[in-house]
C-alpha cells in the first residue's frame, strides 16, 4: 500500500479524492486540502458541493471524534485551519453570482464562544446569495451587536453559538432589543449545532436556521416579507 507521501491527489478519482480530503482534514493538512479543492474545481465541481460534501463532510467526522475524546483541541484547531484554507478559495466563487443586493445582515458568534467556522460559512453563503454581510467575528457581547446594528442598519441580525453554555446569551441580546423597543426593527435569525427550532422560538428569535442553506432561504423569505409589508404600508 502506498504511504501518505506517495499519494498524488490529482490521480485519484472524485470519490477517492473526497475520501482523501476527509483524511487530510482530519490530519489538519491545509496545503493538501487547498490542492484538492482546486482539483475539484478544475473538474467542474460546484463550489457549494465542494463545501458541503468534502469540507463539511470531513469536519463532521472530526466533530464526532472530538466528542468521543479521540481528538483533542490542538488537532481540531489544525483541522479547522485546514478547512478555512479550503473555504478561503471557495469564498469568492460562492459570492460570484453577481446578484443584486437583496438585503443586509450583521452576524457574529455570541459572548464566550470562539467557534466561527459555521458562522463564516453562513456569511459566505449569504454573500453568494446577494446579501451584504457585516461579520462581527467571535465572542460578541450585547453592546457589540447593538453598536453594529445602529451603525449598519441591517435587515437581519444573525447570531451563532456552538456551546450549550453560550446559546442562552442569544436571549440576553434579544431581550435587550425588546427593552430598547427596537426588536421588531430587525429580523433575528439564530443558528449553531446545539440549537433547535424550539429554542429559537423560546428566546424570541424569528427563526432557527439548521444550516447555511436554510439560513439563506429563511433570510430571503423574511426580507421579502418585510419589503412587501413596507410596500403595502
Ligand atoms: Co469546540 N465544541 N470547543 N472547538 N467544536 C463543539 C461545538 C462540541 C459539540 C464538540 C463535542 O464535544 N462534540 C463541544 C460543545 C459541547 C456542548 O456545548 N454541549 C465543543 C467544546 C466542548 C469546545 C471547548 C469547550 C473544548 C475545550 O476547550 N475543552 C472549546 C470552547 C471554546 C469556546 O468557544 N469558548 C472548544 C474549542 C474548539 C476549537 C477552538 C478547537 C474549534 C473551533 C475553531 C473555530 O471555529 N475557529 C472547535 C471545533 C472545530 C468544534 C467542532 C468539532 C466543529 C464545529 C464546526 O466548525 N462545525 C464541534 C463539534 C460539532 O459541532 N460537531 C465542537 C462545522 C460547521 C460548518 O458547523 O458550526 O454547526 P456548525 O455550523 C452550521 C450550522 O450549525 C449553522 O450553519 C452552519 C453551516 O451549515 N449555523 C448557523 C451556525 N451558526 C449559524 C448562525 C446562523 C445560522 C446558521 O445565523 C443566522
Give pLDDT tens digits for 50-99: 988 999 889 889 878 988 999 988 898 899 899 989 989 998 888 775 55
Q: Distance (Å, rounded) from C-alpha 209 to C-alpha 55?
A: 19
Verify that 65 and 133 share a domain, yes or no. Answer: no
Specify the CATH number for the domain of residue 56.
1.10.1240.10
Verify that 40 and 128 share a domain, yes or no. Answer: no
Specify the CATH number for the domain of residue 182.
3.40.50.280
Angstrom CA distances, 223 to 70, 99, 149, 186, 227, stand at 43, 15, 16, 10, 6
**Which residue range(s) make up the domain with 78?**
1-100
Verify that 158 and 54 share a domain, yes or no. Answer: no
Verify that 121 and 233 share a domain, yes or no. Answer: yes
Verify that 96 and 106 share a domain, yes or no. Answer: no
Identify the burial level of 163 via C-beta atoms within 10 angstroms of its C-beta, where 0-12 means exposed, 13-18 middle and 19 or more buried. middle
Residue of 58, 79, 193 with the most ligand 1 atoms within 8 Å of its CB, for mutation: 193
Predicted local confidence at residue 227, as pLDDT: 78
Verify that 162 and 71 share a domain, yes or no. Answer: no
Verify that 19 and 129 share a domain, yes or no. Answer: no
Q: Distance (Å, rounded) from C-alpha 138 to C-alpha 103?
A: 22
Domain count, the chain: 2
Nearest CA to ligand 1 atom 66: 118
Verify that 82 and 109 share a domain, yes or no. Answer: no
Verify that 67 and 111 share a domain, yes or no. Answer: no
Identify the burial level of 202 via C-beta atoms within 10 angstroms of its C-beta, where 0-12 means exposed, 13-18 middle and 19 or more buried. exposed
Given pLDDT bands bounded at 50, 70 and 90, which one contains residue 1?
A: very low
191 - beta bridge partners? Answer: 160, 209
Q: What are the pocket residues of ligand 1 if the criterion is a CB atom closer than 6 Å to any ligand atom? A: 56, 59, 62-63, 66-67, 73, 76-77, 80, 107, 112-119, 121-122, 158, 160, 162-164, 189-194, 209, 211-212, 215
Q: Where a domain ends, among 100, 117, 141?
A: 100
Verify that 26 and 117 share a domain, yes or no. Answer: no
Angstrom CA distances, 149 to 25, 115, 123, 226, 233, stand at 36, 21, 16, 17, 23
Q: Distance (Å, rounded) from C-alpha 173 to C-alpha 175?
A: 6
- Atom from ligand 1 closest to the CA of residue 74: 41
Q: Where a domain ends, among 66, 100, 134?
A: 100
Q: What is the reported pTM?
A: 0.86
The 10 Å Cβ neighbour count of residue 45 is 18
- Atom from ligand 1 closest to the CA of residue 218: 91
Q: Which percentage of the chain shows pLDDT scores above 90?
A: 70
How would DSSP label each residue in 160-182? Answer: E--STTTTTHHHHHHHHHHHTT-
Verify that 111 and 151 share a domain, yes or no. Answer: yes
**Residue 182 in this model has a pLDDT that exceeds 60:** yes
> Which pLDDT tens digit goes with each residue over 27-39?
999 999 999 999 9
Residue of 66, 104, 127 with the most ligand 1 atoms within 8 Å of its CB, for mutation: 66
The more confidently predicted of residues 199 and 48 is: 199
Return all residues near 198 (Cβ < 8 A) that are at least 6 apart: none
SS3 135: strand
Q: Distance (Å, rounded) from C-alpha 183 to C-alpha 145?
A: 12
Q: Where a domain ends, among 100, 133, 163?
A: 100
Given pLDDT bands bounded at 50, 70 and 90, which one contains residue 218?
A: very high
Q: Name residue, grid cell 483541541.
A: 73
Confirm if 192 and 224 have CB atoms less than 8 A apart.
no
Verify that 118 and 71 share a domain, yes or no. Answer: no
CA of 165 to the centre of ligand 1 (A): 12
Amino acid at each position: 500500500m502506498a504511504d501518505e507521501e506517495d499519494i498524488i491527489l490529482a490521480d485519484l478519482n472524485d470519490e477517492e479524492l473526497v475520501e482523501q480530503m476527509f483524511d487530510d482534514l482530519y490530519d489538519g493538512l491545509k496545503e493538501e486540502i487547498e490542492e484538492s479543492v482546486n482539483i475539484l474545481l478544475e473538474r467542474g465541481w460546484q463550489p457549494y458541493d465542494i463545501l458541503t460534501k468534502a469540507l463539511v463532510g470531513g469536519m463532521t467526522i472530526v466533530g464526532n471524534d472530538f466528542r468521543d475524546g479521540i481528538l483533542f483541541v490542538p488537532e481540531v484547531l489544525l483541522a479547522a485551519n485546514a478547512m478555512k484554507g479550503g473555504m478561503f478559495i471557495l469564498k469568492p466563487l460562492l459570492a460570484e453570482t453577481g446578484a443584486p443586493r437583496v438585503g443586509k445582515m450583521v452576524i457574529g458568534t455570541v459572548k464566550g464562544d470562539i467557534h466561527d467556522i459555521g458562522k463564516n460559512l453562513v456569511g459566505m453563503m449569504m454573500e453568494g446569495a446577494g446579501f451584504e454581510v457585516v461579520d462581527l467575528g467571535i465572542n460578541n457581547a450585547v453592546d457589540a451587536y447593538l453598536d453594529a446594528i445602529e451603525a449598519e442598519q441591517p435587515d437581519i441580525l444573525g447570531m451563532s453559538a456552538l456551546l450549550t453554555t453560550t446559546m442562552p446569551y442569544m436571549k440576553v441580546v434579544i431581550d435587550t432589543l425588546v427593552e430598547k423597543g427596537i426588536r421588531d426593527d430587525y429580523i433575528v435569525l439564530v443558528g449553531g449545532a446545539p440549537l433547535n427550532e424550539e429554542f429559537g422560538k423560546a428566546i424570541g428569535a424569528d427563526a432557527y436556521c439548521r444550516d447555511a442553506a436554510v439560513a439563506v432561504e429563511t433570510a430571503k423569505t423574511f426580507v421579502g416579507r418585510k419589503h412587501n409589508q413596507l410596500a403595502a404600508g
